[in-house]
Amino acid sequence: LLQVEKRLELVKQVSHSTHKKLTACLQGQQGVDADKRSKKLPLTTLAQCLTEGSAVLGDDSLLGKMLRLCGEAEDKLAQELIQFELQVERDVIEPLFVLAEVGMAGCPLLCVPCVPLTWPCVYRWQQSAKSSGLSSNLQPSGAKADALREEMEEAANRVEICRDQLSADMYSFVAKEIDYANYFQTLIEVQAEYHRKSLALLRTQGASHQPCALTEAWMEKPSFGKPLEEHLAVSGREIAFPVEACVTMLLECGMQEEGLFRVAPSASKLKKLKAALDCCVVDVQEYSADPHAIAGALKSYLRELPEPLMTFELYEEWIQASNIPEQEKRLQALWNACEKLPKANYNNIRYLIKFLAKLTEYQDMNKMTPSNVAIVLGPNLLWPQAEGNITEMMTTVSLQIVGIIEPLIQHADWFFPGGGLGPMLLWDGMGWDGMGWDGMGWDGMQ
C-alpha cells in the first residue's frame, strides 16, 4: 500500500502539471462557449484584419481580392480551432483535472477519517482498567467493561472497513491506469484530426482561390526569368507578353531605327521598361521615342529565360544542321529541328522570326541585315546547357548560331508558312487588349 500511495502521489503531480501546461496551450478562453471564444481568438482577429484590408483596397485590385479570400480562409481555420479546443477540454483537460484534484484527494492513508473514532474508546477502556486496580495484563470485567469492550471493537471494525475501502480504491486506481493513459492517446488523435481538417480546408481554399486570382486581366506573375510554359499557362496566352508587347511597339516606332538590337539602351530606361512589362502597365507613348530600350527589353527577356527559346534538348541538332555544307540539306535539317520544338516554343519562335524578317526589309535604313540580326540576337535564342565560362563558350559557337538564325530569317515564310504581323495588341490607356491567334495571323490580319 505504501508503494501504491507513492505511485498515486507521482501520478497526481504529473497530472496536475500536464493539466496546467495543456490549459496554457489553448488560444481561446477556457470554459466559455464557441461564440465568446471566437471573439478573442488571434486567428479571428487576423481574419477581420484581412477582410478590412480587402475592403480598403477593393475587389478590383488583385491584392484586395486575395486579402478577402485569405480572410475567409483564416476565419474557417479559426472555427476549426475552436471545435478542436472544445473537444480537448471535454475529453482531456477536464478528466485530467478530475484525476489530479478530485479522484485522488482522499487516497493517502493519513486521511482515513475513521482512525480518530478509536481514540475515545481506547482511553475509556484504559481508565476502566486503572480504576479496577488491575494490572496491565488483565482485562476489567463487569457490565460496564463489556460495553466498553464492545464499543472499542465496533470502532476497530469501522477503522478496518475504512482501511479496506481505501486500499480497494487505491488498487482500483492502479488497475485503471490504462484508462487514464487513454486521455493522452485521445489528445493525439484529436490533434491529428484537427490538422487533417485544417489541411483539407487550406487545400480546398487554395484550389478555389488560384484560378480566381490568376485569371485577372493582365495581373499575372512576373514573366522575366520565368519558364515560358509557366508564363503562358498563368496568362492564358500563346505568345509571351514581353515578346508581343515589344514587337508591337517596335512595329510602330522602331523599324527604321539604325542599329536596332545593336545599340545599347539607357540602363535606367531598360530597368524601368522591364519592370513595367512584368506588371503589364506599359505606356506606349513614353517608349515610342526610345526603340532601343524596347529592343533591349526584348533581348533581356529572351536571355533571362531558364531555357533558350530553341531549347537545350535540340541544341546539338541545331548545331549539326548548321554544319551541313549543302544549302538545301542544311535548310531541310533546320526545318526538321523547327518541327521538333514544343508547341509553346514553336509559336513564339515563329512569331519572333516573322518579325525579324519584317525588320530586315528596312535594312537600307536600320542597317540590320539578316546576318547582323542573327549576330546580335542569336545568342539570346540558343545557347548550350553547360558549366564554365559562358563568354568563352559562346565565342566558339557564335558563328554556328549565326548560321542557324540567319537562314531562318531569310526563309521565314518557308520555315513558318502562314501567319503574319499586324496590330497584335491595342493599348486602350488602361491595359493591353490582346487579340487571339487564329493560325493565320492575329485575328486573321495578315
Closest CA to 89 of 34, 14, 44: 34
Would you say 415 and 334 are in contact if contact means Cβ atoms under 8 Å apart?
Answer: yes
The pLDDT value recorded for residue 286 is 79
CA 166 to chain centre: 57
SS3 280: coil
Across 175-211, b (16+ Cβ under 10 Å) vs e yields: eeeeeeeebeebbeebeeebeeeeeeeeeebeeebee
Instruction: Look up the pTM and report it.
Output: 0.56
44 class by beta-carbon count within 10 Å (0-12 exposed, 13-18 middle, 19+ buried)? buried
d(CA 290, CA 252): 12
Taking CB atoms within 8 Å and a gap of at least 24, the contacts of 323-328 are 323/400, 323/403
Higher per-residue pLDDT: 435 or 308: 308
The pLDDT value recorded for residue 5 is 75
Would you say 294 and 246 are in contact if contact means Cβ atoms under 8 Å apart?
Answer: yes
Locate cell 482501511: which residue?
163
Per-residue pLDDT reduced to its tens digit, 227-259? 999 889 888 889 999 999 999 999 988 899 999
pLDDT at 218 over 50: no
The pLDDT value recorded for residue 146 is 72
- Confidence band for 208, pLDDT divided at 50, 70 and 90: low
Per-residue pLDDT reduced to its tens digit, 88-146? 888 888 888 877 665 554 444 444 454 555 556 555 656 665 665 555 455 555 676 67
- DSSP letter assigned to residue 442: B
Closest CA to 318 of 284, 346, 341: 341
Per-residue pLDDT reduced to its tens digit, 338-354? 999 999 999 999 999 99
Supply angle C-alpha 242, 375, 322, rounded to 5: 105
Cα separations (Å) of 200 from 20, 197, 204, 377?
A: 31, 5, 6, 48
Point out the least confidently predicted range of 7-11, 126-130, 201-205, 341-345.
Answer: 126-130
d(CA 402, CA 398): 6
pLDDT at 428 over 80: no
CA 22 to chain centre: 28
The pLDDT value recorded for residue 167 is 72
- Per the rule left: phi > 0, alpha: psi between -120 and 50, beta: everything else, 372 is alpha
The pLDDT value recorded for residue 387 is 54
Would you say 280 and 220 are in contact if contact means Cβ atoms under 8 Å apart?
Answer: yes
**Domain edges within the chain:** 2-111+176-214, 228-434
So what's the architecture of 228-434 in CATH?
Orthogonal Bundle (1.10)
Higher per-residue pLDDT: 13 or 427: 13
Point out the least confidently predicted range of 18-22, 52-56, 163-167, 261-265.
Answer: 163-167
The pLDDT value recorded for residue 276 is 87
**Phi first, then psi: what are they for 325, rounded to 5°?**
-70, -40
Closest CA to 354 of 421, 293, 404: 421
Per-residue pLDDT reduced to its tens digit, 355-399? 999 999 999 999 999 999 999 999 999 998 875 555 555 555 678
d(CA 284, CA 425): 11
d(CA 155, CA 158): 5
The pLDDT value recorded for residue 217 is 39
Higher per-residue pLDDT: 443 or 213: 213
Would you say 252 and 285 are in contact if contact means Cβ atoms under 8 Å apart?
Answer: no
The pLDDT value recorded for residue 360 is 94
So what's the architecture of 2-111+176-214 in CATH?
Up-down Bundle (1.20)
The pLDDT value recorded for residue 111 is 44
The pLDDT value recorded for residue 343 is 94
394 class by beta-carbon count within 10 Å (0-12 exposed, 13-18 middle, 19+ buried)? middle
Would you say 431 and 425 are in contact if contact means Cβ atoms under 8 Å apart?
Answer: no
Cα separations (Å) of 349 from 63, 152, 281, 380?
A: 34, 111, 24, 12
291 class by beta-carbon count within 10 Å (0-12 exposed, 13-18 middle, 19+ buried)? buried
Query: To the nearest whole number, what is the mean pLDDT of the chain?
Result: 79
CA 429 to chain centre: 36
- Confidence band for 334, pLDDT divided at 50, 70 and 90: very high
